[in-house]
Amino acid sequence: MIEATNIKVKIGKAAILDGVNFTAEPGKVTAIVGPNGSGKTTLLRAITDEIPWTGQISINGKSIGDYKAWELAAVRGVLPQAATLAFPFTVIEVVRMGLTSGVHGNKDGLASQALARVGLSGYEDRFFQELSGGEQQRAHLARVLCQVWEPVLDRQPRWLLLDEPVASLDIGHQLLIMRCLQDYARRGGGVIAVMHDLNLTAMVADAVTIVARGRVVAQGGVQDVLNDQSLSSAYDCTLRTNTPPISDMRYVLPQAAETAGS
């Protein structure tokens, strides 16, 4: 369980997050959605302790302030929205950096397995900087997967905290990665992902938190949260959700202005 209580983040005098409460459970993919500038990435960065915040954040019942750096690294992996890389490391070298903390068995095999999981088999010895943006993102995800490879360790769930993990991927790889995250959750791990694509979110998320204007405006299951009212209010435009009869998969369609009222 990851619990964040009354999280406030200020940049200068502006309150980016104003008393946010957020929970994520292991075994589930928890999506954080919201419009640009809503504070969804800020919330994730507070949970990953990247920026100064006030409030209470605990992972698996222990306040994150009580973790040592390497203990925290052993319990959660973090994928930032954009990661840079200095120096000409190869893909496998980057992925292996995820192996420096935590408990692992066959280290080298693990890095290759992680690459296979994100669809980058055979890319081991390519230079990281020469990959495309989407390939780099997947390589970084492989690194994060390596860091917390077993979803459950010592009976404690481990966590993947991801900021837009599929943002620059083509649709096929978006599905591949989301399946991979679902699989991690099915095996007992926890996944928190800031998401951009509402339909993809509706398809794979088990729980959704909508953040808007620095606050959580809705939190719960996909069917409860992704509805016309909460989405339209959060995104400040008219949106219509629907659930086709042949499946329970919800989808969201933007409504043109003239049909908004009908």
* Minimum distance of other proteins from residue 154's CB (angstroms): 16
Secondary structure of residue 179 in the 3-state scheme = helix
CB of 11 to other proteins, least distance (A): 15
Q: Is residue 74 near other proteins by the rule CB under 8 A?
A: yes
Radius of gyration of the chain (CA): 19
Shorter beta-carbon distance to other proteins: residue 72 or 181: 72
Question: Which residue in the set 13, 87, 244, 247 belongs to the binding site for other proteins (CB under 8 A)?
Answer: 87
Burial class (CB in 10 A: 0-12, 13-18, 19+), 241: buried
Which amino acid does the sequence have at 237? Answer: C
Q: What are the Cα distances from residue 91, in Å, to 26, 87, 134, 138?
A: 30, 12, 13, 10
User: Considering only residues 125, 154, 248, 258, which one is a binding residue for other proteins as defined by CB under 8 A?
Assistant: 125
Pairing of strands 14-24, 2-11: antiparallel
Q: Which stretch binds other proteins (CB under 8 A): 76-84, 149-157, 168-176, 210-218?
A: 76-84
Which stretch in 30-38, 78-86, 173-181, 221-229 sits in contact with other proteins by CB under 8 A?
78-86
- State which of residues 14, 69, 246, 256 lies at the interface with other proteins (CB under 8 A): 69
In this chain, which stretch among 22-30, 72-80, 168-176, 239-247 interacts with other proteins, using CB under 8 A? 72-80
Contacting other proteins (CB under 8 A), which of 25, 49, 197, 206? 49
DSSP assigned state of 62: E
Distance CA 166, CA 140 (A): 12
Q: How far is the CB of 126 from other proteins (least distance, A)?
A: 6
In the bound state with other proteins, the residue whose beta carbon lies nearer, of 5 and 100, is: 100
Contact 81, 45 (CB under 8 A): no
Nearest to 175 by CA among 166, 187, 163: 166
**Nearest-angstrom CA–CA distance, 33 and 38:** 9
* Interface with other proteins, residue 3, by CB under 8 A: no
Inter-residue contact 159 to 191 (CB < 8 Å): yes
Which of 63, 70, 121, 220 binds other proteins (CB under 8 A)? It is: 70
Contacts with other proteins, residue ranges (CB under 8 A): 48-50, 69-74, 77-78, 80, 83-90, 93-94, 97-98, 100-102, 125-127, 129-132, 147
